[in-house]
Amino acid sequence: MLNIIRSQIYIMKRDIYYLWATGIVFLYFGAVSIETFDSYLAGQDLSGSFITPVITADMTYVFLMFAVLFSSRIAGWDFTDKTLNYEIIYGHKRSSVYFGRAIVGIGTGLIRSAAVAALIVILPTAAFGWGWSVPVSEIVLRYSIIALELIRLMAFVIMVSTIARSNVAGAFAGFAAFFIPVIVTAMLNLEEEKVKSISFLSSCLSISEVSSFENYTTDYILGKDVTIFLDRLEPQFSSLLAVTAILFTAVYLLIGYAVFRKADIH
Amino acid sequence: MDKTVISVKELTKQFMKQKAVDNVSFSIKEGMICGLIGPNGAGKTTIMKILGGLVLPTQGSIQLYGGFSEKELAHARSRMSFMIETPYAKAKMTAKENLTKQCLQKGVPDLKRIDEVLEIVGLGDTGKKKVGNFSLGMRQRLGIAGALLTKPEIMVLDEPVNGLDPEGIVEVRELLLRLNRDNHITILISSHILAELSQMCTDYMFINKGKMVSFRSAEELRKECSDYFCIHTDNDSLAAAVLSEKMGITTFDTADDGSIRLFDNFDDIRTVSKTLYENGVIPLTMYVHEANLEQYYMNMVGDQNAEHYKISDIHNEA
């Protein structure tokens, strides 16, 4: 499996797709950050704890793009030119071929998403200090759940890419799985509480839930008006999201492997 | 050359309604160069894919180095190399980059081997040219280079000379013969170029419509492809009866033009012609026909019912 991981990393360094994908997503991140700053943050008393929640809510699609574009490419592209065949005829077990790619696909998407998350947290904190708007622990908890949901989404994309033997099919399925629940809940005009109660069923709904801070108040601290975000993830709800994310991840990966293990590779 | 390295038993592969491989069994011993011969769609590539683990058999089993579990087969494949169909390569990478990737996939620590194999196959000067711009022959050479990366003990090659110019074909043939002779590499090779196979193989497998038609050593094949005596007479059916009843000869058949092909006894042709004449058959022409592998192959796969006629069949037709 280690050899498969090494060869995938070697290809990624030479495949211009990854460079383009990373560049475009980071451009989008920059554009959204600027727009968010202009819309919500201009004129505010800034701090890391204030900026991070505001920008995080708008970064959902950045995480989505990294997750889907990278995991689908790594899992499905080598079916197209059959270079995946070498791994089997070279004596790697099918489990190594499949899970080796899953590790690289998930790891790559996570690392880039983590880079974005780090920028969101570190830059404003370095510039303005953390502040009092929300505790660090709350941000850590929410980002941890976002990470698990991204892993779940990537596992789904890897499953589809493997079964369909196509990175395009995997990417399409990933984007569909992300947007369809949002569209459906909007069309049904569901109440917020109802959406929250079913959010564990979908990565998108879960990420939307944990990345948004709806309730806030203003307090006067150390001579300044400070916005305080009141929303906190309940332990029961966050546990539910984490467990279902892990469970669905395992199910998707195992389904993908079950199909791949018995498939004829032409 | 006694150790069996590849063993296939009652192998069958069904794709939807079609049996691509139908109850095939064979064994390949260490040191053999075994030619796998058959027309397009015969099942050659499917057999190689099953050996390589790309395709799973519907029925039957394979053993590589005596191992048959998934783990044992995977380990055995690490000692082998395969080149199946058109070699797989990343079109936007160079030859060296593709082979580097393969080295990483296979866990080959010595990347200097890449330059060695590129020189061996004549791609040492491709530099930054992307594989996507390679000709078919160059891609074939790259596939052979990939098969040589790890100094395998067994090579399974699916039409390796496809697309090569005559000079390239000779180079590959000499390379494979040298590898077999000097490094004791066992080779399973499929090809349509029968003349090429006849210059290197120690054994031959003929396959048609998924079924094994024949497995012969080079020596056996040489004898079977040997000459026959062709006799045109004025009465072929009577001639056949004379040969079988008067002379006790049964190893003959009748060609499409009515001539009789005698596979034995043609060193005693005076007795044959005398006996025919005495029994009212006039030999019109008699000559030795030298057969070859290609003709043998056409007989094998062209007409499955081309058996030697029995005397009763000839009487019925008369």
- For each of chain B's 318 residues, which pLDDT tens digit applies? 579 999 999 999 999 888 999 999 999 999 999 999 888 888 999 999 999 999 999 999 999 999 989 899 999 999 999 999 878 888 889 999 999 998 888 888 788 889 999 988 889 899 899 999 998 888 888 988 998 888 899 999 999 888 888 888 888 888 889 999 998 999 999 987 777 788 889 999 999 899 998 888 888 777 666 667 888 899 988 988 988 888 888 878 787 778 888 876 556 778 888 888 999 999 898 887 766 666 777 777 665 433 433 333 333 333
Verify whether the Cβ–Cβ distance A93 to B91 is below 8 Å: no
Average pLDDT value for chain A = 88
Verify whether the Cβ–Cβ distance B70 to A266 is below 8 Å: no
Q: If residue A228 lies in a helix (H) or strand (E), which one and from where to where?
A: strand A224-229
Q: Residues A158, B87, B175, CA angle at the centre, nearest 5°?
A: 145
Picking from A83, A90, A264, the nearest residue to B55 by CB comes out as A264
- B55 and chain A in contact, CB less than 8 A: yes
In A, which residues are within 8 Å of B151 by CB distance?
Answer: none
ipTM: 0.81
Verify whether the Cβ–Cβ distance A88 to B78 is below 8 Å: no
Q: What is the pLDDT of residue B98?
A: 92
Picking from B77, B89, B97, the nearest residue to A91 by CB comes out as B77
Distance from CA of A5 to the nearest CA of B (A): 8
Percentage of chain A beyond pLDDT 90 is 39
Confidence (pTM): 0.81
Distance from CA of B172 to the nearest CA of A (A): 22
In B, which residues are within 8 Å of A88 by CB distance?
Answer: 52-54, 77
Out of A51-60, A140-149, B174-183, which region has the weakest mean confidence (pLDDT)? Answer: A51-60
Mutate to test the interface with B, among A1, A16, A90 (most CBs of B within 10 A): A90
Which B residues, 121 through 160, put their C-beta within 8 Å of a C-beta on chain A?
A: 146
Verify whether the Cβ–Cβ distance A6 to B104 is below 8 Å: yes
Q: What is the pLDDT of residue A254?
A: 97
Flag whether pLDDT at A205 surpasses 90. Answer: no
Residue-wise pLDDT for A208-249, tens only, equals 888 888 888 888 777 777 888 888 888 999 999 999 999 999
Percentage of chain A beyond pLDDT 70 is 98
Q: Give Cβ neighbours of residue A151 (< 8 Å, ≥ 6 apart).
A: A106, A110, A245, A249
Q: Which residue has the higher pLDDT, A5 or B266?
A: A5
**Interface A-B: count of C-beta contacts within 8 A:** 81
Verify whether the Cβ–Cβ distance B91 to A81 is below 8 Å: yes
In A, which residues are within 8 Å of B91 by CB distance?
Answer: 81
Measure Cα distances from A76 to A142, A148, A157, A165 in Å.
30, 22, 9, 5
Which A residues, 15 through 44, put their C-beta within 8 Å of a C-beta on chain B?
A: 15-16
Verify whether the Cβ–Cβ distance B104 to A10 is below 8 Å: yes
- B75 and chain A in contact, CB less than 8 A: yes
Mutate to test the interface with A, among B64, B104, B111 (most CBs of A within 10 A): B104
Picking from B54, B76, B146, the nearest residue to A265 by CB comes out as B54
Q: What is the pLDDT of residue B257?
A: 78
Helix (H, G, I), strand (E, B) or coil at A266: coil
Distance from CA of B97 to the nearest CA of A (A): 9
Verify whether the Cβ–Cβ distance A265 to B77 is below 8 Å: no
Delimit the domains of chain A by residue range: 2-262
Verify whether the Cβ–Cβ distance B104 to A265 is below 8 Å: no
Measure Cα distances from A95 to A85, A101, A105, B44 in Å.
14, 10, 15, 27
DSSP lists the bridge partners of residue A224 as A221
The DSSP secondary structure of chain B, one letter per residue, reads ---EEEEEEEEEEEETTEEEEEEEEEEEETT-EEEEE--TTSSHHHHHHHHHTSS--SEEEEEETTB-SHHHHHHHHTTEEEE-SSPP--TTSBHHHHHHHHHHHHT---THHHHHHHHHTT-TT-TT-BGGG--HHHHHHHHHHHHHTT--SEEEEESTTTT--HHHHHHHHHHHHHHHHHH--EEEEE-S-HHHHHTT-SEEEEEETTEEEEEEEHHHHHHHTS-EEEEEES-HHHHHHIIIIIS----EEE-TTS-EEE-S-TT-HHHHHHHHHHTT--EEEEEEE---HHHHHHHHHH-TT-PPPPHHHHHHH-
Distance from CA of B282 to the nearest CA of A (A): 60
- B243 and chain A in contact, CB less than 8 A: no
Report residue A70 as tokens: 């990278």
Lookup result for tokens 């794709």 = B15
Picking from B15, B54, B90, the nearest residue to A89 by CB comes out as B54
- B269 and chain A in contact, CB less than 8 A: no
